Structure 1
Amino acid sequence: MPTTTNKRALSEIETAEYIGMSRSFLRQSRMEGNRTNRTPAPPFIKIGRTVRYLKDDLDNWLNNFCRLEHLGQNPNGGDHA
């Protein structure tokens, strides 16, 4: 089985494993788009009826999330007082 690290376009199953989220998250986020108070959807492409996720897009999507050192931090910047 080929590894996802060597592929540019990943299937839904490969993407779910790569980003550590469920396939249902991917499906729901594709249907709903980016809604307020929800985790934003990762970008995807369609080739005919097939959905694929570009690895570079997924890396950028993951990098957009704030890195926290503890749960008391505000993910939108700064610490809670």
Structure 2
Amino acid sequence: MGMLSWIIMGLIVGALAKFLMPGRDPGGLIITILLGIAGAFVGGFLASALGLGTVTGFNLGSILIATGGAILLLFFYRRFKR
């Protein structure tokens, strides 16, 4: 069940990141999910590195941190694919 929740969270966060960063993306649904999952890891790592603590579960703080990480990854992904 944990893996399924990561995929669902990744889908939500990836879609939210694409919504907040409009433009052409060189990826489809799978890339969106992968960027969302990786964004959750990056956002969580950056939050703990900055001393913001660890945010776990499906709550507003974890969604915001994961979305920030996904936006960061989407930015670099767009730059890399050009």
User: Does the TM-score normalized on the shorter chain lie above 0.5?
Assistant: no
Larger radius of gyration: 1
Of the two structures, which has the highest relative contact order with CA contacts closer than 8 Å and spacing of 6 or more? Answer: 2
Q: Give the TM-score taking structure 1 as reference length.
A: 0.28
Instruction: Output the TM-score relative to the length of structure 2.
Output: 0.28
Judging by fraction of residues, say which structure has more helix.
2
